[in-house]
């Protein structure tokens, strides 16, 4: 998603720092959006709190919607995103 955002908004992105690489298998997405909460409960709570309660059953879809630039509420600011992205190894 970081690369797609950078390509869509090159004037807002000067660099991308990637902290992990995945094969995009369903099990990896499930771990990130469900399983990580067991090991990093406070960080996961902050990550999840941005999503409306009614959408927390599918965080991946909810974040995709939140990052969609055509939302009527306007584009999500990159600084807002940086404060909510779940980075357990930092």
pLDDT tens per residue across span 17-53 = 877 667 778 888 788 778 888 888 998 888 888 888 9
pLDDT band at 89 (very low <50, low <70, confident <90, very high): very low
**pLDDT(84) > 50:** no
Q: Greater confidence, 73 or 33?
A: 33
Task: Give the per-residue pLDDT at 25.
Answer: 83
Helices and strands (H and E) in the chain: how many? 5, 0
Phi, psi of 23 (to 5 degrees): -95, 5
Distance CA 73, CA 50 (A): 15
pTM: 0.50
pLDDT band at 61 (very low <50, low <70, confident <90, very high): confident
**Which residues does 39 contact at the CB level (< 8 Å), separation at least 6?**
88
Cβ proximity of 67 and 82 under 8 Å: no
């Amino acid at each position: 998603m970081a690369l797609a955002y950078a390509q869509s908004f090159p004037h807002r992105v000067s660099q991308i720092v990637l902290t992990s690489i995945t094969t995009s298998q369903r099990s990896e997405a499930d771990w990130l959006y469900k399983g990580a909460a067991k090991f990093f409960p406070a960080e996961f709570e902050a990550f999840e709190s941005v999503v409306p309660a009614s959408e927390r059953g599918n965080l991946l879809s909810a974040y995709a919607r939140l990052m969609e630039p055509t939302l009527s509420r306007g584009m999500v600011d990159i600084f807002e995103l940086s404060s909510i992205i779940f980075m357990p190894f930092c």
